[in-house]
Structure 1
Amino acid sequence: MVDLSVEIIVSEILTRVPAKVVGRSKCVCKEWCALLSTQEFLRVHANRSLNSSNQRILFVGDHSISVHPINVQSGVYGPSTIVSFPFNDISIHSHLNGLLCLHLNNTSELLLWNPITRAYKHLSKPDCHGFFEHNSDTIGLYMDAYDDYKVLHVKCRCRAFVVSIYSRKIDSRRNIHFITEPEYVNPTFSWSTGTLCCDTLYFTVASAMLEIKMW
């Protein structure tokens, strides 16, 4: 019997397993944790996860999500797994790479949720960072150049924008300077959820007069 080196196990086996298994494997030892956290491993794992055998399609209902494996080439999907939402009375505001950004309607909190692993992360803090208002806030999700998952939160408060970016990698939030047309701060304007295209987030801004702008 041939013993496999740690490098072979990581590069040829663990790059092909689901993300949930990778997360558990980081607990084996410090060496595994370090190897599974490198940018090269994350890049290879992400590329191999794009194989049709690893793709899933979600059908969202009022109280649960139906998860189906799907063959991208044929368009055929397999038997479903029913996943309940982690909380009652929620709204889905955005999604990217399998993660959903949810709004808890009762408390105005935001959270990221992975319906495959059932794991979730609260984005709202006691200092009111991350709390979402339906009529004046919007959300955009994107990945930066370092493969860090980011949540852009645009808030309109007292006729001024307060914009923050949450980093999933370091679990922190920072405010950024935001420049846009002054009239867009007017409460008569509404902003759509951000759409990611070619590494840029786009928002549709519409007024009560049905005038539409792209930011």
Structure 2
Amino acid sequence: MGELLPEILEQILVRLDVRDIIRCKSVCKAWESFISDPDFVKAHLKHSYNNDRNDNEIGERRIVMARYPYRYRVRQYEVDDRFFDYHYCHLIGSSNGLVCISILNTEILLANPSIREVKKLQRPQIPHVGSLCWGFGYDSSVDDYKVILGFRKGDDLTCFHVLTLKSNEWKVIGEVNYTFVSRIGILCNGALHWIMKGGSPQDDRKVILSFHISKEEFIEIPQPDDARFESLIAGHLALRLGTIDECLCIFLRSLLPHNIWIMKKYNVKQSWEMVDHDCEIKNEAAHCMKELKHYIPHKRPLCHKTWFCKTRDFIGAPIFVQSLVSPHVNRRPKRKRLVMTSTRSRRRFGGDPSVPGPVARV
């Protein structure tokens, strides 16, 4: 096995689950270095995405923040609703296996539940203004991740700040003449989306505000031009966004699974269609994220058992993929002292018996 060509080794390892790949790091130093290489991490991530998309048994793989461990019942996971501020912490978003979490609006954590790594981000320097809106996503143009935060400024403005993971610093990106209704930005087509309303008390119209992560530009996304949409859900304070089959959708949670509108072609008003409630619903795989109160690096799992159920309840939850992407982008992981437990095992994997080999560190 030690004489495998890198191309063949990649084709073998890239098909494994993250847990098995981490174990493979203990085979030898060469394998550990190969698996930690950014090119392999990206190759595995791409394979994981393609594997999920081509899985006919699962509609979407998502992640949610649990209120209560190990059980699935109605409202035992966090949703973006009027009770949002009563929760201890919030799941801001997920991208490429990384999950962003806010704790009491004062501490922001970036975690990869699959490899059990957590990074604490710089706290935002903003005035104490009460409730906030959030977003998290990947900027492919610079190969970086961004956390977006919005807070109300006066009665009719929302001021947005952004943090880039590589710099771990916040900067102001602008103000908009809206106040937020939904709190968590829905990631779709390289942009984050919130339900907003007109800034002034006299302007009660609801809009879909989009923030393009790479361009850092705000635009308004058109809503369905249909009498059924206008009469049933348009303008409602509980209006929320989600994704179905990588397309933006809009709905009222109280009406699920009915009256869901999906934008088949992004930012095209005429492409909005109402989802037929009689259509087949595939299994949703919802990973249940813990609150990280007692996190011990590399020791305790960060997720409870995954739920598999046929439901539309999770369409507002972020898409999740298991990956090897580390939240620690500015440093290489520290290597522990390598100790081989037996001479026989070193020979088995093609190593020199006189050279100490590695042990598992998961």
Q: TM-score, length-normalised on structure 1?
A: 0.60
Distance (whole Å) between structure 2 residues aligned to residue 104 and residue 122 of structure 1: 11
Distance (whole Å) between structure 2 residues aligned to residue 132 and residue 31 of structure 1: 48
Q: Which residue among 41, 62, 70 is the counterpart of 2:67?
A: 62
Task: State the partner residue of 2:135.
Answer: 140
Distance (whole Å) between structure 2 residues aligned to residue 132 and residue 14 of structure 1: 48
Task: State the partner residue of 1:73.
Answer: none
Task: State the partner residue of 1:17.
Answer: 16
The answer to whether the 8 Å contact 2:102/2:109 transfers is yes
Q: How has the CA–CA distance of structure 1 residues 5 and 147 changed in structure 2, closer, same or farther, with 3 Å as cutoff?
A: farther
Structure 2: 5+ residue stretches without partners: 73-86, 210-362
Amino acid at match of 1:161: C
Amino acid at match of 1:122: K
Amino acid at match of 1:108: T
- Give the Å deviation of 1:20: 4.4
Task: State the partner residue of 1:163.
Answer: 161
Distance (whole Å) between structure 2 residues aligned to residue 60 and residue 109 of structure 1: 16
Q: Which residue among 141, 145, 150 is the counterpart of 2:145?
A: 150
- Give the Å deviation of 1:5: 2.3
Distance (whole Å) between structure 2 residues aligned to residue 6 and residue 58 of structure 1: 36
Name which one, 1 or 2, has greater alpha-carbon Rg.
2
SS in 2 for 1:13: helix
The answer to whether the 8 Å contact 1:95/1:101 transfers is yes
- Give the Å deviation of 1:120: 2.6
Amino acid at match of 1:164: V
Distance (whole Å) between structure 2 residues aligned to residue 130 and residue 13 of structure 1: 46
Kindly report which structure 2 residues correspond to 1:81-120, keeping only aligned pairs within 5 A, or say none.
89-105=88-104, 108-120=106-118
Distance (whole Å) between structure 2 residues aligned to residue 58 and residue 110 of structure 1: 17
Task: State the partner residue of 2:44.
Answer: 45
Q: Which residue among 167, 183, 190 is the counterpart of 2:180?
A: 190
Amino acid at match of 2:44: H
The answer to whether the 8 Å contact 1:109/1:132 transfers is no
Aligned residues: 181
- Give the Å deviation of 1:7: 0.7
Cα distance per residue 1:139-187 (max 9 Å; x no partner):
22222226845232224376573512232xx4x3233452343x33xxx
Structure 1: 5+ residue stretches without partners: 68-87
Q: How has the CA–CA distance of structure 1 residues 130 and 114 changed in structure 2, closer, same or farther, with 3 Å as cutoff?
A: farther
The answer to whether the 8 Å contact 1:191/1:204 transfers is yes
Cα distance per residue 1:48-70 (max 9 Å; x no partner):
22324998555654133669xxx
Amino acid at match of 2:162: S
Distance (whole Å) between structure 2 residues aligned to residue 8 and residue 90 of structure 1: 43
Q: Which residue among 169, 193, 200 is the counterpart of 2:191?
A: 200
Identity of matched residues, %:
19
Q: How has the CA–CA distance of structure 1 residues 9 and 93 changed in structure 2, closer, same or farther, with 3 Å as cutoff?
A: same
CA-atom RMSD in angstroms: 4.1
The answer to whether the 8 Å contact 2:132/2:152 transfers is no
Q: Which residue among 204, 222, 227 is the counterpart of 1:210?
A: 204
Distance (whole Å) between structure 2 residues aligned to residue 92 and residue 26 of structure 1: 30
Distance (whole Å) between structure 2 residues aligned to residue 23 and residue 147 of structure 1: 27
SS in 2 for 1:4: coil
Distance (whole Å) between structure 1 residues aligned to residue 38 and residue 142 of structure 2: 11
Task: State the partner residue of 1:71.
Answer: none
The answer to whether the 8 Å contact 1:108/1:132 transfers is no
Q: How has the CA–CA distance of structure 1 residues 134 and 47 changed in structure 2, closer, same or farther, with 3 Å as cutoff?
A: farther
